[in-house]
Amino acid sequence: MSRVELRATVSPSEDPQKVLAAMRQVFGDCDYSVDEGATSIRLRSGSSRCLQRLHDQLRDRHVRDAARRLMLASLEGKVLPLKLNRQAAAAGVLALCSSAVESPLGPLNLEVEADDAEKLVDWLTAH
């Protein structure tokens, strides 16, 4: 794993700290850096531990097969781009979106770069 990045836009009607709190729900307990701009927030890490919460929730919520299909369809070479529902993340639930319209305030954009992205999908969706 070489890079894990989570990005979100922040609209003028949103509290940036609430957006950041939702993003922290995605990464959980791992080491990452935070870059806050006027209209966006980005979290970056090189640690696969930042994906542990996503792995666990896919397992616990019994959505691995659907998540696997979505992930394999989304793969772009060594990069796995995913969209997560922002409101669900704020509540501690990691819900994948197949398009941005599934998250009314805009999705949280997760991008993972790995030498073997298919192996990463296998791990995230392992039975």
Q: Domains in the chain, start-ordered, CATH in brackets?
A: 3-124 (3.30.1440.10)
Q: Is the dihedral of CA 51, 8, 91, 79 positive or negative?
A: negative
Q: What is the pLDDT of residues 25-40, one digit of tens each?
A: 999 889 999 999 989 9
The mean per-residue pLDDT over the stretch 14-19 comes to 93
- On the question of pLDDT at 127 being above 80, the answer is no
The mean per-residue pLDDT over the stretch 97-113 comes to 88
Q: Which residues of 49-69 are buried (b: 16+ CB within 10 A; e: fewer)?
A: ebbebbbebbeeeebbeebbe
CB 31 within 8 A of CB 43: no
Average predicted confidence (pLDDT) for the chain? 92
Q: What is the pLDDT of residue 1?
A: 60
Residue 59's pLDDT band, with cuts at 50, 70 and 90, is confident
Alpha carbon distance 62, 58 (integer Å): 6
